[in-house]
Amino acid sequence: MGVYIKDMEMPENCALCPVWDAGNCLVAAEAIICEYNKRPPDCPLVPVPPHGDLIDAAEEMRLMQSCEYDTYDDYNRAFDMLDNAPTVIPAEE
């Protein structure tokens, strides 16, 4: 499980990081050694590249595979469901 912080930019180093406090990373599972001029290689933050809406594609594919398709229209309706899947993280603007 993880956390997404909307509109947060990746900090360049620990000193600029909002989850770094008094020499400790508040989200790291273990202590990390910080170099104040760059991000440490074991930094727990992961950059999220620009994206459209992010959905739970694995769940949607599971649902689609559990359906039976008698006609091409049924198959198309399944893909329409995928297009209308609930958004987990909205697209960046």
Other CB atoms within a 10 A radius of the CB of residue 15 amount to 11
Dist CA 60 CA 55 (whole Å): 8
pLDDT tens, residue by residue, 74-84:
878 777 877 77
The model's pLDDT over 4-53, given as tens digits with 9 standing for 90+, comes to: 888 888 999 988 999 888 888 888 888 888 877 888 888 989 888 888 88
Name the pTM for this structure: 0.60
DSSP conformation class of 15:
G
Helix axes 57-65, 72-83, angle to 10 degrees: 160
- The pLDDT value given to residue 70: 82
Helix or strand or coil: residue 59? helix
Query: Using 50, 70 and 90 to split pLDDT, how confident is the model at 86?
Result: confident
What's the pLDDT at 35? Answer: 72
